[in-house]
Structure 1
Amino acid sequence: MEQKTQPDETEKTISRPGCDVHYWVSGNSSKPLIILIHGACADHRQFDMQIPCLIQDYQIVRVDVRGHGLSRPLAGPFSVPDAVEDIVSILKETGRNNAIFLGQSNGTYIIQELEFRHPGMVRAMIIVDGTYIFQKLSRAEKLLLKLTPAIMSLYPYGSLIKSMADGSAVKESTRAYLRETFGRLSKAEIINIMSGVSGCVHPEPGYRTGCPLLLIRGEHDKLGNIKAAMKEWSLREPRSKYVVIPDAGHCSNQDNPEQFNAMMMEFLKGLPELVSYSR
């Protein structure tokens, strides 16, 4: 099924266990492929401000992750491994063997798990405000992750939406987008998603990412252990670069798109893989 949504973007769907996953394709199919994966409870529009920078030099795929946006309803629990296999199926539909990946928050967990399970499919990663899912957590961190869905369930629906949006961004336009997008989900859907996200961490001592890695964090991102984990992650990876975006929170690509886009394009243009990009 295909449907034109914008002059330069085609909406497609792929049938997957539990739901039909919607994704959007734009750009030049002869150029390197970059796949954009949004954060928990958001949707593909989270990367609207990155598209103009990428459209000339890349083929772009952006996805509504299962259980989000138009990729609903979802039958059964949300899980990061299931989302990974959705992305693998979409990648195969493009006729490519690999891609560059850009993800925000939960989108970064999907990308990390994809690279872990399918080495070689990820040519490079741009990680936006996401923790390292292969770290060893403290007892307190494990307990907080486990309790997060239950704590969220105690909030009245309206308060939950506002709290999630306010905690994720410093710019009002970003918060407005998040309130609107989160508000499309029921409280049960939000808890289902967050339950899957909270269970995605699995320590892998000695594991290293096998590709170039750009780690970007908003200066004011105070969610979870992201600040400490991203810095430690950068020290573990010899092919990584760590950048802090000023005047930005957990959604740094939306809070400060100018600075974010500059760092993103600098990283992409420096990738040696683009010289001999495999299909």
Structure 2
Amino acid sequence: MLNLPSVFPFQGCGLRYDDSGGDGVPLLFTHGAGADHAMFHAQRDHLRERGYRVVLWDLRGHGLSRPPGVPFTAGQAVADLRALVEHLALDRPVLVGQSLGGNLGQAVVRRHPGLARALVVIGSAPNTAPLSSWDRLLLRSAAPVLAAIPARALPPLMASASAVTPQARADARRAFATLPKKDFLQAWRATVALLDPDPGYRTPVPLCLIRGERDRTGDIASAMPRWAAAEGVKEIVVPDAGHIANQDNPRAVNEAIENFLATIETPGQARR
């Protein structure tokens, strides 16, 4: 069920969000392209019960954040997230993002390194990884291929490619069906625009990398292990899960996030 009771008007769009409040460590969850905040309901309930301040929101033009006001671009998405953090006066939140949300979190941490205390990425490749000629060709061809798919066929196709459990697939179909095809293509192009190769870059905050064992989206299955090795962190591979691992296997993802959060808490900011 979609339920974001609060709205933050920003640059032509009413960004809708839900803030659990409280004085726990703030966690800001950002969904993937074509999805909405509902994909994180299991994480919201689990972590809110443990005293964290949990914020869910819908990206511009997605879910309940309508009308988009201006076209969805990488720069606009970064500006929206940063503005929401400032609007809610979140004290260095942990940014948690799935797919596009993970790419967006990376971009925000890189451009504004003092904004977040940590980054959790679910089902995303690293923005700064080098791109081969083949990679660039695939990225250039993806948008035309997606554009050629009939609008009515896109939601079931994307849902089947993203999830492995019937429940997760059903919710993905629901979310994709609410987003006009042109808006989804804008979100896809924004995701590609967030890629900015810089092989020597290292994430300046604690990093948690989570991938579904059966994620076949792009090169995530091969890129995330390399990313983890370069950053010196352990990649968490979630069994019985695809691209949206947090919905396919929420219990395992909840445990992974909670364990990671326990390593970054500081005195005075720990769980209640």
What is the deviation of 1:20? 2.0
Within the candidate set 253, 256, 265, 2:246 is matched to 253
Q: Is the 8 A contact 1:213 1:241 kept in 2?
A: no
| Residue-by-residue CA offset, 1:104-123 (whole Å, 9 max, x unaligned) | 00000110000001012111
| Residue-by-residue CA offset, 1:98-141 (whole Å, 9 max, x unaligned) | 11111100000110000001012111111101110111111111
d(CA) in 2 for partners of 1:215 and 1:275? 25
Query: 1:41 maps to which residue?
Result: 34
Long gaps (5+) in structure 1: none
Q: Is the 8 A contact 2:26 2:91 kept in 1?
A: no
d(CA) in 2 for partners of 1:14 and 1:27? 16
SS at match of 1:230: helix
SS at match of 2:20: strand
Q: Which has the higher mean CA deviation after the structures are superposed, 63-72 or 35-44?
A: 63-72
Query: 1:51 maps to which residue?
Result: 44
Query: 2:221 maps to which residue?
Result: 227
Aligned length: 268
Query: 1:213 maps to which residue?
Result: 207
d(CA) in 2 for partners of 1:232 and 1:82? 29
What is the deviation of 1:181? 0.7
SS at match of 1:62: strand
Please, what is the CA RMSD of the aligned residues? 1.7
d(CA) in 1 for partners of 2:7 and 2:139? 32
What is the deviation of 1:80? 2.2
Q: Which has the higher mean CA deviation after the structures are superposed, 157-166 or 35-44?
A: 157-166
Q: Is the 8 A contact 1:109 1:130 kept in 2?
A: yes
d(CA) in 2 for partners of 1:146 and 1:73? 28
What is the deviation of 1:15? 2.0
d(CA) in 1 for partners of 2:206 and 2:108? 15
d(CA) in 1 for partners of 2:12 and 2:120? 28
**Structure having greater relative contact order (Cα 8 Å, sep ≥ 6):** 2
State TM-score, norm by structure 1: 0.91
Query: 1:189 maps to which residue?
Result: 183
What is the deviation of 1:192? 1.7
Letter in 2 for 1:40: A
Query: 1:173 maps to which residue?
Result: 167
Letter in 2 for 1:275: P
Within the candidate set 139, 148, 166, 1:145 is matched to 139
Query: 1:93 maps to which residue?
Result: 87
What is the deviation of 1:263? 1.4
Query: 2:119 maps to which residue?
Result: 125
Within the candidate set 62, 66, 71, 1:72 is matched to 66
Letter in 1 for 2:253: F
Query: 1:62 maps to which residue?
Result: 56
The answer to whether the aligner puts 1:269 opposite 2:269 as a matched pair is no
d(CA) in 2 for partners of 1:208 and 1:11? 37
Q: Is the 8 A contact 1:67 1:193 kept in 2?
A: no
SS at match of 1:204: coil
Could you say which structure has the higher strand fraction?
1
Q: Is the 8 A contact 1:77 1:196 kept in 2?
A: no
| Residue-by-residue CA offset, 1:171-218 (whole Å, 9 max, x unaligned) | 011010011110011111212221222222111231110111110000
What is the deviation of 1:241? 2.6
d(CA) in 1 for partners of 2:98 and 2:85? 19
SS at match of 2:120: strand
Q: Percent identity?
A: 35
Q: 1:66 to 1:122 in 2, by over 3 A?
A: same
Q: Which has the higher mean CA deviation after the structures are superposed, 166-175 or 186-195?
A: 186-195
SS at match of 1:50: helix
d(CA) in 2 for partners of 1:274 and 1:129? 27
d(CA) in 1 for partners of 2:231 and 2:193? 24
Letter in 2 for 1:85: A
What is the deviation of 1:27? 4.2
